């Protein structure tokens, strides 16, 4: 959110949209921007590739007046009692005056829709809709695809229980358990006051935070062959420690399934991700990764299956 002061200057919607169009021509990358223009109103715009999400909502406040709201996820609209209107299109800008007038305009020369898959895998809340796609349904579909792959490639494995690494992977793991016809259990208790570890600065802090964030429920691990399900594997720090925790809790064998494919290169579109050399999958085969993190088995979602899982909710969807 930015604040721009221009209270004493005349400012029309055309001026704002012209400035945003010029900005889009100058900047390459992923962004969803919101700015308050003091004395005039609020402006929001999405990058021409639609990599980051942005939604528009409204609510009636009586006397014929309407309030508008923009947010990165539809769940924010729900929480504050706004009606979801639509996704802001790639390259589109929205201007809402102080008097509540709404103006919209396409401000990109060649807009295309290439949303980031990681929104559905990891970032977004399951009760959100992004680009007409239910995040929850997309994750269930990921579980279906990954469960079917596990059933094909690991048909001889003796898996006693499926356990998610909370919280993003819970819906995925539940569907995998259904596909495999195995019990689903909450084997880890999460400390909700510890943030997301993969974007934390410093390896030592990340390692400490994993132990503070999760605690294993020994009753669900003791003398069992467990299949752990995570949304993704980035540096491998979390995976290695969680597998160690599962063994300490009494697991006989520990298998790990990732709902995302191998992350071999950094994401340069707005995610604070490490350099390629810090990514555990960079330059390594799956079995090498398995040995490093200490798993008895490791399997990744196929990229095409991940795309299909998300696209099933919106056939017109394309992804980066």
pLDDT digits (tens, 9 = 90+) for 108-133: 999 999 999 999 999 999 999 999 99
Question: What per-residue confidence (pLDDT) applies to 6?
Answer: 56
Question: What per-residue confidence (pLDDT) applies to 234?
Answer: 93
pLDDT over 70 at 214, yes or no: yes
Q: Which residues contact 220 (CB under 8 A, 6 or more apart)?
A: 161, 163, 185, 186, 187, 226, 249
Are 171 and 107 contained in the same domain? no
Query: Side-chain half-sphere of 107: how many Cα atoms within 13 Å?
Result: 29
Are 22 and 62 contained in the same domain? yes
More confident site: 6 or 215: 215
Dihedral-angle region of residue 102 (phi above 0 means left; psi in -120 to 50 means alpha; beta otherwise): beta
Lowest mean pLDDT among 30-39, 80-89, 264-273: 264-273
| Structural domain ending residue among the three candidates 114, 130, 157 | 114
Which sign, positive or negative, has the C-alpha torsion 291, 293, 294, 298?
negative
Q: Which of 250, 189, 243 lies closest to 222, judged by CA?
A: 250
| Rounded mean pLDDT, 209-220 | 87
Question: What per-residue confidence (pLDDT) applies to 315?
Answer: 83
Token couple for 24:
């889009």
Are 174 and 295 contained in the same domain? yes
pLDDT band at 63 (very low <50, low <70, confident <90, very high): confident
3-state secondary structure of 11: coil
Question: What per-residue confidence (pLDDT) applies to 8?
Answer: 58
Are 210 and 274 contained in the same domain? yes
| 127 domain residue, yes or no | no
Are 62 and 189 contained in the same domain? no
| 133 domain residue, yes or no | no
pLDDT over 60 at 5, yes or no: no
pLDDT band at 268 (very low <50, low <70, confident <90, very high): confident
Q: Which of 93, 237, 243 lies closest to 165, judged by CA?
A: 243
Are 269 and 231 contained in the same domain? yes
| Rounded mean pLDDT, 99-115 | 95
pLDDT over 50 at 317, yes or no: yes
Beta bridge partners of 102: 96
Question: What per-residue confidence (pLDDT) applies to 195?
Answer: 55
Are 283 and 160 contained in the same domain? yes
C-alpha distances in angstroms, 263 versus 106, 166, 241?
33, 20, 19
| Rounded mean pLDDT, 93-121 | 95
Instruction: Identify whether the C-beta of residue 67 lies closer than 8 Å to the C-beta of residue 58.
Output: yes
Are 155 and 281 contained in the same domain? yes
pLDDT band at 199 (very low <50, low <70, confident <90, very high): very low
Question: What per-residue confidence (pLDDT) applies to 1?
Answer: 54
Cα-atom radius of gyration of the chain, to the nearest Å? 22
Q: Which domain holds residue 304?
A: 139-311
Report strand pairing: 214-216 vs 188-190. antiparallel
Map tokens 């909502």 to a residue: 57
| Structural domain ending residue among the three candidates 114, 131, 165 | 114
Total-model pTM: 0.89
Beta bridge partners of 56: 70, 86
Are 170 and 267 contained in the same domain? yes
Are 48 and 187 contained in the same domain? no
Which sign, positive or negative, has the C-alpha torsion 188, 266, 302, 294?
negative
More confident site: 43 or 39: 43
Q: Which of 8, 71, 14, 68 lies closest to 38, judged by CA?
A: 8
Q: Which of 70, 11, 73 lies closest to 45, judged by CA?
A: 70
Token couple for 193:
């006051």
85 burial via Cβ count (<10 Å: 0-12, 13-18, 19+):
middle
pLDDT band at 206 (very low <50, low <70, confident <90, very high): low
Question: What per-residue confidence (pLDDT) applies to 2?
Answer: 57
Question: What per-residue confidence (pLDDT) applies to 191?
Answer: 83
Are 166 and 243 contained in the same domain? yes
| Rounded mean pLDDT, 242-253 | 98
Q: pLDDT tens for residues 140-155?
A: 999 999 999 999 999 9
């Amino acid at each position: 959110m930015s604040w721009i002061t221009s209270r004493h200057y005349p400012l029309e919607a055309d001026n704002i949209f012209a400035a945003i169009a010029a900005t889009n021509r100058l900047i390459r990358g992923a962004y969803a921007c919101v700015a308050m223009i003091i004395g005039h109103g609020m402006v929001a715009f999405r990058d021409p590739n639609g990599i980051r999400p942005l939604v528009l909502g409204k609510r009636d406040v009586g006397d014929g007046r309407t309030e508008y709201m923009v947010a990165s996820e539809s769940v924010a609209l729900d929480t504050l009692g706004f009606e979801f209107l639509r996704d802001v299109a790639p390259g589109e800008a929205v201007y809402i005056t102080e008097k509540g007038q709404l103006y919209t305009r396409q401000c990109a020369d060649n807009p295309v829709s290439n949303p980031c898959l990681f929104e559905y895998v990891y970032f977004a809340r399951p009760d959100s809709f992004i680009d007409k796609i239910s995040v929850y349904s997309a994750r269930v579909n990921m579980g279906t695809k990954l469960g079917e792959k596990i059933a094909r490639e690991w048909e001889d494995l003796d898996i006693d229980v499926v356990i998610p690494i909370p919280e993003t992977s819970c819906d995925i793991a539940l569907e995998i358990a259904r596909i495999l016809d195995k019990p689903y259990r909450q084997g880890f208790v999460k400390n909700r006051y510890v943030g997301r570890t993969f974007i934390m600065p410093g390896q030592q802090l990340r390692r400490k935070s994993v132990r503070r964030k999760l605690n294993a429920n020994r009753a669900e691990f003791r003398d069992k062959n467990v299949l752990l399900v995570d949304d993704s594997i980035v540096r491998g720090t979390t995976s290695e420690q969680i597998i160690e925790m599962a063994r300490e809790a009494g697991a006989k064998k520990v298998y790990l399934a990732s709902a995302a494919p191998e992350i071999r290169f950094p994401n340069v579109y707005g995610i604070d991700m490490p350099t390629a050399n810090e990514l555990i999958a960079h330059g390594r085969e799956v079995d090498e990764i398995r040995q490093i993190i200490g798993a008895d088995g490791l399997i990744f979602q196929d990229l095409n299956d991940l795309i299909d899982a998300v696209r099933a909710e919106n056939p017109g969807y394309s992804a980066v």
